[in-house]
Amino acid sequence: MNHLNPSKTGLALGKLFGTVHFVWAILVALGWAQALVSFSQWAHMVSVPVVVGEFDFSAAITVVLVATLVGYVLGYIFATIWNWLHRV
């Protein structure tokens, strides 16, 4: 099996998580997020009252940074466990 570089795996997953949350922040800023949430609930046949709040720049920065950090940590842990399980 291939060896995974924990740092590169963490960076890749962190970048993915951060980008997804950055796109979400843009959708909130543009006012499109509520429609997306409503569509998602309809498509999954779920009815839970969810209201997307107004855009807050500091909250957007915080969620992007935290998501990036969490993604990095999860990717690093995943690669470390992968390498341990597939050691030769």
Chain segment 38-66, per-residue pLDDT in tens? 999 999 999 999 999 999 999 999 999 99
Residue 1 pLDDT grade (very low, low, confident, very high; cuts 50, 70, 90): confident
Which helix (DSSP H) or strand (DSSP E) does residue 39 occupy? helix 33-43
The C-alpha atoms of residue 24 and residue 31 are separated, in whole angstroms, by 11
Q: What is the pLDDT of residue 88?
A: 74
